[in-house]
Amino acid sequence: MTANATSKVVSVTMSSSDGEDDEIRVIHSAEQTRFARGWHCLGLAAPFRDGKPHQLKAFGTELVIFADAETDELKILNAYCPHMGGNLSKGKIVGDSVACPFHEWRWRGDGKCSGIPYARRVPARARTKSWTALERNGQLYVWNDPEGNPPPDGVTIPEIKGAYSPDWSNWTWNSILIEGSHCREMVDNVVDMAHFFYIHFMMPTYFKNVFEGHVATQLASYQPRGDVAFADMDMDWAAETGVFGDATYYGPSYMINAQWNSDGKPAEDQEPDTVLINCHYPVSSTSFVLMWGAITKKQPGMNDAEADAAAAYYIKGMEASFMQDVVIWQDKIKIDNPLLCDEDGPVYQLRRWYDQFYVDTADVKPEMVDRFEFEIDTIRARSFWDDEMKKNIATGNIVGAAPTPS
């Protein structure tokens, strides 16, 4: 159990497989009350540059985001004015500061009060919390650390080549508030090979995980299921070809998923066809905002509008895929001691990697950050799934439209 957690248990009865007396397995489920250390994406940067301050609920508090009118840099502060509690997001931007609508105390991006129009001087203790911000790939990130430390050297968000290239589309971007779930539900998917068949209707043909430091990677190949009517689920893109993906989390919440339209692993110098972003930030201990976006490489002869339309078409299918996950999250329990089989992947190893973001830096253990590699043997699962698909096709039992979140 990690720090700052309270536990609750749910009992379930399980029959033993060897005919012995029934055994009781107790599901452990600790409620996280601490928010992960690391970079969290807050969305595309451009919408925050409209000349107004913006309020955003995250990490159990309220933030205000505004663009410094003098430098155009995006700044992030606590949303409520330390003077009398006014909401800074309801105020206005004045030069390098955001002015409170209550008494117009003005706050710079570094958290210092830059002026009080009606006062002779600014109190020496007039400071509010300033959050470390990063802008990259056309997106805005905020650094969260319960200990108040700055980002360590080497812990950052990498640049995405296509995000700076005229040969790629603009970003598509979507988001949804997930309530009643912890962020870990998202991250568990990194190792969950089998759910791709049952939830996303894709057949994994290769599946490998690599964890090291603050980075966790899933390398995988997929083929579309032959017994699925993808067009009924706005996922007909999935039926067109196989996909190879390099899906890597940089820290606890930001995944870059480079994808190639390929039946197997592409050449090392082959540029991906699509880059998908899968990211989230916590709102409370039991809710988070899930965001996803994509850019696609322009095909020969494509203009900007056509490339953006291709990205929108792709992300529509990915949105349907995410919603398939959401349906599960909305009606499952958080489980800290899952009962696993050989083909379930390194769930506990991933959880140990993820735990590093929920403890003080002094308490990070080697097993949380040491390099770990694991490749799942997909042969047995594929053999069973092939038989299942053949039976479904033979009987006309074609999978139709996917469920939608309530």
DSSP codes joined into one string, 180-215: S--THHHHGGGT--THHHHTS-EEEEEEEEEEETTE
Cα–Cα distance for residue pair 327/206, rounded to 1 Å: 26
Mean pLDDT of 218-225: 92
Whether 64 and 189 map to the same domain: the answer is no
Does residue 174 share a domain with residue 271?
Answer: yes
Query: How many Cβ atoms sit within 10 Å of the Cβ of residue 238?
Result: 24
Q: Indicate whether 196 and 310 sit together in one domain.
A: yes
Residue 302 has pLDDT above 80, yes or no: yes
Given a cut of 80, whether residue 21 has pLDDT beyond it is no
CATH number at residue 309: 3.90.380.10
Query: How many domains does the chain contain in total?
Result: 2
Reported confidence tier of residue 5, pLDDT bands at 50, 70, 90: very low
- pLDDT number for residue 323: 80
What is the structure's pLDDT at 361?
97
Say if residues 246 and 263 touch (Cβ distance below 8 Å): no
Q: Is the pTM of this model over 0.75?
A: yes
- What's the pLDDT band for 401 if we cut at 50, 70, 90? low
The residue written with tokens 């398939």 in the block is 324
Encode pLDDT of 107-138 as tens digits. Answer: 999 999 999 999 999 999 999 999 999 999 99
List the alpha helices (DSSP H) in 330-378.
347-355, 366-369
Residues 139 and 178 in one domain: no
SS3 assignment for 48-59: HCCCCCEEEEEC
Highest mean pLDDT among 194-203, 257-266, 325-334: 194-203
Q: How far apart are CA 317 and CA 202, in angstroms?
A: 13
What pLDDT sits at residue 162?
95
Return the residue matching tokens 């056509």: 306
Average pLDDT over residues 184-192: 91
> Are residue 129 and residue 232 in the same domain, yes or no?
no
| Surface-to-core class of residue 288, CB atoms within 10 Å of its CB (0-12 exposed, 13-18 middle, 19+ buried) | buried
We report the CATH number of the domain holding residue 117 as: 2.102.10.10
Residue 28 backbone phi and psi in degrees, to 5: -95, 135
Helix (H, G, I), strand (E, B) or coil at 352: helix
Residues 311 and 233 in one domain: yes
Parent domain of 78 = 39-144
Helix (H) or strand (E) holding 395: helix 379-395
227 and 96 in a single domain? The answer is: no
Show which of 96, 112, 144 is a domain's final residue: 144
**Within a domain: residue 118?**
yes
User: Cβ distance 173 to 44 under 8 Å?
Assistant: yes
